[in-house]
Amino acid sequence: MNKIAKRLWIVLLIVTGIILGIMAASAVTGNDAVNSFVGTLITPIHRVASSFGAVGDFFDSIINSGKYKGENEALRERIASLEQETINIDTYISENERLRALLDMKDLRDEAEYAGANVISRDSGDWYETIVIDRGSAGGVELNSVVIVPDGLVGSVVEVGVDYAKVKTINDVESSVGAVCGRTNDMGLVEGKSGLTPQGKCSLNYLDKNARIVVGDNIETSGAGGIFPKGLRIGKVTEVVTSADGLTLSCEIENAVDVSSVTEVLVSIGK
């Protein structure tokens, strides 16, 4: 390398140091005038340094740093927008799947007409468990209207307003539903029970002592009582208990429907 080239390199290094110092100060103060000055200062140097390959690339990155920063910011905003669109699409798909399941459930219940409703509030405790839906007498809901979801039975309507209805769920201690074991045809009465309600469970009572029900059996509505149609899923047996006098059996039932997470239901209308 000749002396002229060496001197040029030295000058470039000195100027680079000065520019970097100015840029650091600019970054701290956010002064646009300083940024403009740096660009003006570097441009002629860049033309000379461009013939030195990597040095030219280095100065190019300095001159265009503002441009690159803007492009990066625009890309970040676009990525964030696409991510939000993906979330929205997933939400729509989930809602459509739930609505499709409700419609399929509705088609299976030829003996009654059902309409969709949203859960707008709920009241859960050790003894009582109710929900309120946004459909009332104006929408055809009546006392004792049956409320279901694709997973099974939710409960029945116990209070009706013009545009709302209160639903007593099968977890409620005042609830009772005629039930049958699909495998054995043993019949009993599913009732809410203190202590089980917070666990999302209820009790199957008044079974014959010779009932052949075992843990894992599915329990569904029997149609007895005139409120609930036959064949709605209630839950699965988790424990079988013999009464103290040995005359009857009872079972703990894990509900098919998690009432605490229900947001949309079907309610029978025009009964």
- Which residues contact residue 30 at a Cβ distance below 8 angstroms, ignoring those fewer than 6 apart? none
Element (H, E) at 24: helix 3-29
Short-list 167, 172, 137, CA closest to 149: 167
**Structure confidence at residue 146 as a pLDDT band (50, 70, 90):** very high
The pLDDT assigned to 253 comes to 95
Q: How far is CA 163 from CA 31, 132, 199, 223, in A?
A: 61, 10, 31, 28
Cα 81 from chain centroid (whole Å) = 20
More confident of the two residues 134 and 68: 134
Residue percentage of the chain with pLDDT more than 70: 63
pLDDT digits (tens, 9 = 90+) for 232-267: 999 999 999 988 777 888 999 999 999 888 999 999
Q: Is 53 exposed, middle or buried (0-12, 13-18, 19+ CB in 10 A)?
A: exposed
What confidence category does residue 180 fall into, taking pLDDT thresholds of 50, 70 and 90? very high
pLDDT (mean) for 155-168? 96
Q: 154: closest CA among 140, 168, 136?
A: 168
Instruction: State the pairing for strand pair 176-181/218-221.
Output: antiparallel
Tracing tokens 């503002």 back to the chain, one arrives at: 66
How many Å separate Cα 136 from the centre of its chain? 26
